[in-house]
Structure 1
Amino acid sequence: MTRLLILTLLICIGYSLWTFVRRSLGGQRPPKEPQVPPRRTSSLRGEDLVQDPQCGTYVPRTEALETQIDGRRHYFCSPRCRDAFREKK
């Protein structure tokens, strides 16, 4: 029984020593970059958001519908909001 305990202890020490030497020699892999799920890239770039005057939704400027109404530029989240805003004016 004592021999089994000593053998187990030697194996643990040997494994720890082997791991230490391997890491100190540069065998450790660099940590992986976290994977970003595929999404629209505009929100990842820190793009300016514009507010839809009809419903109040914020939309990235490149994805918004830009419309000139009464000489002023407005941005909308959808054609439905744009049309509803035009009817109000």
Structure 2
Amino acid sequence: MYGNYYHVPGRVTRQRVSMQQAQEIALDRVPGQIVHVDMELEHGVLVYEIFIMTSDNRLFEVEVLAKSGRILKVEEEDDVD
């Protein structure tokens, strides 16, 4: 009946940390240059995915919880394209 309609409940989409704040949090953990920022809904939780290139050309993904600013994951990417 609703086709491809996708509903996200209001309480899930509310965020307290801005994209700028999330980037600052990520750069505090992994210094470098931000090359890409995205926001994903993972298991009903909004997460900023921030990709940072370090000065030695290593690429890291830092996941920051949009609700609190807590870092969920720091992972070095193997495939740099």
Higher relative contact order (CA 8 A, sep 6+): 2
TM range, smaller chain: under 0.3
Q: Which has the larger radius of gyration?
A: 1
Looking at secondary structure, tell me which structure has more strand per residue.
Answer: 2
Q: TM-score normalised to the size of structure 1?
A: 0.22
Structure whose residues are more often helix by fraction: 1
When the two structures are superposed, what TM-score results if normalisation uses the length of structure 2?
0.23
